[in-house]
Amino acid sequence: MSPAAMTKTDLLLLGLLLDRPMHGYELYQQIQAEGIDGWLPVSAAGVYYSLRKLRDQGLVAETRQRAGGGARKSIYHQTERGRGAFFESMEVELASHEETYLDLDLAIYLLNKYPLQRALSQLAQRQAFLDGQAQEVQVAVASEGGNGLSPLKLAILDHRRRFLEMEREWLADVIRSIRESGEAPGFREGARQGLMVLSGELRHHHLPDLVRLIASGQHSGTLRVTDGADLRTLSFEEGRPAYASYVHGGDPPVPLSSCDEVLDGLCDLFRWQEGRFTFDQQTEYGAWSVPLECSAEELMLRGCRRVDNWAIIQNLVPSGDTIFELGSAPERLPALALLPGEERVVATVDGVKDVATVARELDLTFFETCRIFYCLAAIGMLRTADLEKIRMRRVFREIAELVCTGTLPWRASPDDRSCEEEVNERVGHLPLRLDDGRIEDRTDPQLGTEELKEMYQCFLAEQFRVISRRFGHSNARQTFERALRQLAPELQAVAHRHGFDRLATN
């Protein structure tokens, strides 16, 4: 084993086995007795896993011994190769060039996407935990220092004590900076901002996504957007729009007369492709701010309806072959006051039809349809359908319809629908049926892939049983096999992945 491939647990066990041979549980007992598991993450399962790995690589040898008349135990001895690997790995560890990574840094990096007060509460809990850890180390140093504890173990305790002190001081600075951070006044270069700030350029960020982030995270704070001349602000309280203001061309702020007037200005933002924004989790209302009476969804829907630029729409509707499914609970629809065209699109979306197909069915222009999909996707009412579910729906539909067509030679007449009617009767508990050889799929678009697969398998299995009983098992099997061969190669792989190709063999 190369030093780079050796884990900390591997190195620890090789070091302990230098003293004497031991069995696995004895090694773990020594780790606990020495307090090693207090500064190195190691478990009993990890010890046994590492021993097996070291044995397979010839770094330790395993013998079986019976202790005190009991069960036989595996005793591990370090081999000559193991001693060499230990010393080689120690050289690498002591002169380590390994980067230092601190786990909390990821959460700090993402902190500005988390509600301010909740973040402070969680950081306070972390601070209390560090305080408790520091006290435990102090007690250990005090109690062990005079009991002949080895200088090396004291050095480890001192290392942990110093790290905890540093971590506590750093975390206290972070918390203090968050609490003391003020708003960035306007967009002056070099203006002071707090830690809990999101900022960027509109050409790199999609404004509805930013508003949804604030709303879904229940953030409080103020969003400012400017194009260098006009400045618009939108303040949130726990994710709900609360106040807004509009300053034109650097003029002094002037109180606006109505909520509709300020909303009209805010809705224009959704058409902007250039400009800068900041969202600071500090909220302050000026005398010119107007209280708002709308939800974040209502604001986004009103703003997105004004979008008339294909480049913006493509953020959420990249092409006409994009397929959508319902993304939110239907009971939210009445509160949003959808326009008639929007209601028709929602009613048509089934996770199978693409945007171009919906446009044709509803006799809408392609651009008009794309804009409706854009609006509904921006508020989360629709979402891009799962690609695997799309493929599975298509495979099921094609197999069921091809099998139905395949029974034509054996029917009493081409218009005989008795086989189809019997299939529908047997699957009456499913939201699936055949209608003149075509599948009507009324399954809930929000169903998971596994639930959907079970329904489709159940339908195809019943279809196979009905055809087998009416026209013979051999004919039924041949019909299913022929339908599978007629699928495109990529769809044959989907059928195999979901077990549709095995239904006729059961």
Least confident residue range of 164-178, 279-293, 484-498: 279-293
d(CA 446, CA 328): 9
Q: What is the pLDDT of residue 189?
A: 38
Q: What is the pLDDT of residue 123?
A: 92
Other C-beta atoms closer than 10 Å to the C-beta of 463 total 27
More confident residue, 401 or 334: 401
What tens digit of pLDDT does each residue of 226-248 get? 888 888 889 999 889 998 887 77
Question: Vertex 455, ends 449 and 460: CA angle to 5°?
Answer: 120
Enter the CATH code of domain 106-180: 1.10.287
Other C-beta atoms closer than 10 Å to the C-beta of 207 total 24
More confident residue, 186 or 364: 364
* Percentage of residues of the chain with pLDDT beyond 70: 89
Residue range(s) of every CATH 1.10.10.10 domain in the chain: 3-94
- Work out the mean pLDDT of the chain and round it to a whole number: 85
Q: What is the pLDDT of residue 257?
A: 59
Amino acid identity of residue 407, one-letter, is T
What tens digit of pLDDT does each residue of 306-332 get? 999 998 999 899 989 888 988 865 566
Strand 231-237 relative to strand 221-226, pairing: antiparallel
Global pTM value = 0.63
Tokens for 154, please give them: 């004291």
What tens digit of pLDDT does each residue of 396-439 get? 999 999 999 999 999 989 889 999 999 999 999 999 999 999 99
Q: Which fold has domain 3-94?
A: Arc Repressor Mutant, subunit A (1.10.10)
d(CA 85, CA 64): 24
d(CA 153, CA 166): 20
* Range 184-207 average pLDDT: 64
- Decide if 354 contacts 394 (C-beta within 8 A): no
Q: What is the pLDDT of residue 335?
A: 75
Q: What is the pLDDT of residue 312?
A: 92
Residue range(s) of every CATH 1.10.287 domain in the chain: 106-180
